[in-house]
Structure formats: structure tokens, C-alpha cells
Amino acid sequence: MARRYSGDNTARTIAGNFRFSKVIQIMQMKWKTRALLKSGRAVVGTWLQFPSADVAEAIAGAGYDYVAVDLEHGAFTRAQLPDIFRAIECGGSAPFARIAEAEQRPIKAALDSGAQGLIFPMIETREQLDRAISWSLYPDGGGTRGVGFSRANDYGEYFDAYRTALPDQLTLVAQIEHIRAVDNLSDIVSHPRLDAIMVGPYDLSGSMGLTGQFDHPDFVAAMQRISDICRRHGMVMGQHVVEPNPEKLGQCIRNGYRFLAYGIDTVFLLRASKCPPIPR
């Protein structure tokens, strides 16, 4: 039988303290985004479509408040999410998930993997939003989320701390991507637990038969309706500036948008990697 040394307990204590301080540090970062939104500051993140932890860590280190993993159009699997979110945290940003659809299973998978914010796609009615938000919160926080140990709560080691913080600190955003959503927007933004809405300009314009025609008078009028309703209800407005353009980003902030996504990793690569003109 191996002899047990008193140093074993010391090593376990040091390891436990390190793990605890690591969790506290991550949780402090985790809850930063919603507090920034409530302070009125513009929160600027970006979009991730490459299923690579290396890309996730690199783009998270570029200074964004959050990095949203695009589970709707990206090629991510459930098994990749913990490593992707871990890489984003290592890079210094908050890991968000734009889930594939506002349904129970993808919401649970993203949160259990460690998402610190959720962006619900294609929200068109208050009933849709009610269900999505309920699936995002534990029963003692007003929701119906399944209770279990996962990476998000360090596999149960700090479950109580995570469960207690979640109701007030998880960032929840509804994407407005259809003209029907604009018609129902007053009901949508009146949900007390919704933090922001984000306009999906391509989908919204497409639903109007004006795909990509962002200067069309009808699209401009729809955007003005969204702005007016959000201001009336005190709701944070958001938009995705898909094509990286600092002037456009600044214009959005001056126009009152406070939750913004800037570019996509795929777009950054395509724009930066174009072969320059070569004399032949």
C-alpha cells in the first residue's frame, strides 16, 4: 500500500483553490455583457462560422466584447461546442451562441456547453419568445430548463453559484428577421427578460421581396418602425454589420444601436486574403 504524505492534502488544496479562482474569474467575465448593455454602452461582438478552436481563440483576442458561434449557418457539432467556447474564453471574450433554431434541444446544448448569451433566430411572435426564454432558465429562475451537471457549472462543482447567477445575468437576444416580426414587435419587446433585439438585415429584406436592397424605401421604413418601437419600449436595438466597415459601425452606434455584431470570421478571411493586382 502506498504511503500517504501530508503533502497530498496540500496539493489538493492548492489545486482546488486554483480551480475555484479560475471559475470565479470566468464567471465575472461571463456576466459582463449584460451589465454593459444595461449601462447604455455599445456592446460590439463578432460572428464565428469556422468550427476551429484556434480561429475562435484568435478572433476572441481581437478585442470584441463577445463572439457568437453561428450554429444556424456554421458547421459546428454538439461535441465541438465546449472546446470552441473554452477557446473564446481564453481569448478574452464572452462566448455567445446564435442557435440554429429557438427550440429546447439546441438551447440546452448551447447553455450546457458554456454559452454566456443566446441569440434566438427568426423570432416572429411573443409566443415563440416566451418558450425560448423559458427553456433558457432553470425552474427556480422562472423557466423550464432541464437541471443537470455540465461544463457550464464545472460539472456540478459550482452548480449553485451558476444556478443563482443565471436568472439575472444570462444575455438573451431575439433576432428580428421577418416582416411578420416587425408587425408583432411591440409584443415581442415587452418581454421583461429580453435584453435586446438584433435585426437580421438580409433575412428581413428577403421577407419583403427586397433581398439585400438596404436602401429601398420600404426597407428603410421597416427599420424606422423597429427603431421607433424599441425606443418606445426602452428596448436595446441591435444590428449585424456583416461587411466590415468601421464607418457603418460608427453610424449604427450614433443611430442608437447598442448590441452589434461586426463582420464574420469567413468574411474577414475572404476580404483580407484577396490576391492583389499583379503586374504580368
Active site residues: 73
CA 218 to chain centre: 29
The SS3 call for residue 32 is helix
The SS3 call for residue 154 is coil
Query: Within 10 Å of residue 120's Cβ, how many Cβ atoms?
Result: 27
Helices (H), the chain: 6-30, 32-39, 53-60, 81-91, 104-113, 126-136, 159-169, 179-183, 185-189, 201-207, 217-233, 246-254, 265-272
Query: From CA 8, how far away is CA 18, in angstroms rounded?
Result: 15
CA 79 to chain centre: 19
Query: From CA 255, how far away is CA 141, in angstroms rounded?
Result: 34
80, with CB counted inside 10 A (0-12, 13-18, 19+), is: middle
What letter would DSSP give residue 153?
Answer: G
